[in-house]
Amino acid sequence: MKTTGSSSSKSITILTALLLSFSSGFAQDAPKYSNEFLTIGVGARALGMGYAYTAAVKDVTAGYWNPAGLMGISGDLQVAAMHSEYFAGIAKYDYVGIGKRIDSTSAISFSVIRFGVDNIPNTTDLIDNDGNLNYDRITSFTAADHAFLISYARKMRIPGLRVGASVKVVYRKVGPFAKAWGFGLDAGAQYDRGKWRLSAMARDITSTFNAWSYTLDQKTIDTYGVTNNELPVNGVEVTLPRLVLGVAREFKITGKLNLIASVDLENTFDGKRNTLFASNLWSGDPRGGFELGYAGIVFLRSGVNLFQYVEDIDGNKSLDFQPNIGLGLKIKSVNLDYALTNIGGSGAALYSNVFSLRFDLFKPKAS
């Protein structure tokens, strides 16, 4: 056991050092916030638990939260889907995932995430060459971000240890004007020690690079020149690594009442952010949640995340956070989950309803 503990500590130390080295190399030029649609999360169960899910996850959504959790898939094939809307229904967020156990020691999944705004009016041709307004010239376009994840998990020879990785492809498009392709890698681990489950999830471990290209017609270029606007140029956007550490534990309250509690700490290394813990090099964003289940059928969830300091008009700062609640219902192999999340912080009262469905498919038993 001492050898195992020493090996785990060395692995975490090496992983942290790699993240620091990657981050320090790009921190001066890279933006703090890029590919932010990939931080929204998937699955109403996870969102209802305050996004503290890297240790608790053991289903197909692990392809996003922590690929090591794919080893918890129970059926021969597991499918999950989620839909939510933001900003009064203007933006749509969707997720679909398919996972499968390859054998007793490995599993694989494929996930698709889309965040987009459709039917945006395009008024660039509203005025014709004669200076007349022509509303028939108004068209529409879509601005959408897509992510495709292929995830693999494997059970290791060390008892209780599972590891996994996700290769992700990012495609972002703003109508006919701009598009970007990006590629990245996530890696994660889960380790069961007694009643405790520990986890580590490294996002964008090699940094994720989005290569942007722009397509502008001559009229648009001329308009930019007349209005003294700067023309966009092709370039690369970098998403820096971050490390999420988590812990979860299951408590048996009575014969039918069960409680799962979990805590995550997201660590970023690109300078000071508006988080609960922050320094010039490192910032820590904690989150926590629980799930109370009855007879494995009905579930009540709650959690908090997104701790931030908010400054009022007088310059006084106060600590704000995002509360979340959720419900779940399991009927045989079908799970229906709901979450109510406060996307604007506790002071903004902008709530979003999230629904997700997950079910297992089993091969028919031989007669």
pLDDT at 289 over 70: yes
Domains and CATH numbers, the chain: 2-361 (2.40.160.40)
Q: What is the mean pLDDT of residues 327-331?
A: 96
Shortest CA distance to 145 belongs to which of 36, 64, 44, 239? 36
- Give CA separation, 3 vs 12, 15, 161, in Å: 14, 18, 14
Q: How confident is the model at residue 224 (pLDDT cuts 50, 70, 90)?
A: confident
- Give CA separation, 111 vs 68, 156, 245, in Å: 15, 24, 22
In the prediction, which pLDDT does 126 show? 79
User: Of 94 and 23, which is predicted with more confidence?
Assistant: 94
In the prediction, which pLDDT does 32 show? 64
In the prediction, which pLDDT does 114 show? 97
Rounded to the nearest 5°, which phi and psi values hold at 224?
-60, -40
In the prediction, which pLDDT does 3 show? 41
Stated pTM of the model? 0.85
pLDDT at 78 over 80: yes
Question: pLDDT digits over 199-223, tens only?
Answer: 999 999 988 989 999 887 777 777 7
pLDDT at 68 over 90: yes
pLDDT at 331 over 70: yes
Are 240 and 270 within 8 A, CB to CB?
yes
